Amino acid sequence: MALRKMLQMKSSITPYPGETVIRRAVARDAKRLTRLVRGSRAYEGHYAAMVADYRVGSDYIETHRVFAAVDTGDSAGRVLGFYSLVLEPPELDLLFVEDGTQGRGVGRLLVEHMKSEARAAGLDRVRVVSHPPAEGFYRSVGALPTGTARANPPAVAWDRPELEFLIP
């Protein structure tokens, strides 16, 4: 079983220019993904409470389609970003890019990969409830506004833009 999983992971690695690959996340990535979420500058100030105790667990990684963008030039395989696609109901649940890597196309690569995964799963649209500062990014990669997800204190104390990707 372990060998079969390794072969599946290896076959799901998609190379991109610039020594970055998108691969299926595995349980041992949980701590790195959690650090990426908690350390995101996008969640500083009044947004900090939302991610302060957030944890990407190995169970979450095994349950959902979680993919990581990895720097192959780094011997430790530094995670540059990741996303999580939930199939039922279809939603881009998480998408984070390391602060120092933003603006270099990693987020766009992750979104394109997500669209490909969604298409392969037979989805025709994927919902995104965006962190307010990320709305511009999602629109720039093709997400269309659909409304507003209202605040739900204490978990989320602010309204959030709701968008969707149409999957042709």
- pLDDT tens sequence across 34-69: 999 998 888 888 788 888 889 999 999 999 999 999
CB 21 within 8 A of CB 70: yes
- pLDDT tens sequence across 64-90: 999 999 998 877 788 999 999 999 999
Q: What is the model's pTM?
A: 0.85
The amino acid sitting at 131 is: H
- The encoded tokens of residue 43 equal 């969640």
The Cα 54–Cα 83 span in angstroms is: 15
- pLDDT tens sequence across 129-168: 999 999 999 999 999 999 999 998 877 888 999 999 999 9
